[in-house]
Structure 1
């Protein structure tokens, strides 16, 4: 079945079974491998994409649900928040193995869009659905806070 949607700002059409998880369409059909498979049951966050601007687990979202909608993957996430997060991640060596980090950044970018100066509790609550196998949670929190500080500097400049 042909399903059309917007991916990273471009209109595309895929031929897939309607109940195929978006994750597999992204990875196998569209070669967008930055979105990772972690658990397959929407519990770990490695497959997080933005669906109409909201963080969503691609492993449990059937591709038919995105027909006519907008999906942004880590490859297309170029918001100021994502750029600040990538910079902070690098500066603080947030990642270890890196497997979960695309999902972490996709979730954190949404957090910063909605709460530009999050507290530790805000970060912990919002990011709680993203599992890091290497347990870099303290560095993730520090990276989010550094990104928030950098974004605040840009706004005040």
Structure 2
């Protein structure tokens, strides 16, 4: 079984918009993170345009399947400001910054941060939101649910109170 760091990095890639780079990496992701084979096999067999359209249907419309972790607690943009700033502070403590144009609470960014640093504090604190997203993706019937299944399986039990 691969390390959690490998799984988190692979999951981060699987949860980004499926471009040519992701398609090219699918065989490596399949081998490196067998827990994600349900998704990687689906993605490998799905025409790229169809895969991209599915990603937009799942993640591109509203907050129902939001990949922005603070939205699971704070809702609208005004209330999210403090939480988003906290994500950035945690990254900076490790000498990292989120790439331009992306919010630090974007789940693929948090997974990559966790893979690079071994610090799972953000995933653990937002575990309840991850579980809610996982359940919604499962109910929607998307292969992306399997990615969240694998990530959630590595985390301690649900964090029961709102992160600071």
Q: Normalized against structure 1, the TM-score is what?
A: 0.30
Q: Normalized against structure 2, the TM-score is what?
A: 0.29
**Higher relative contact order, chain-length normalized (CA < 8 Å, sep 6+):** 2
Q: Which has the higher helix share?
A: 2
Q: Which has the higher strand share?
A: 1
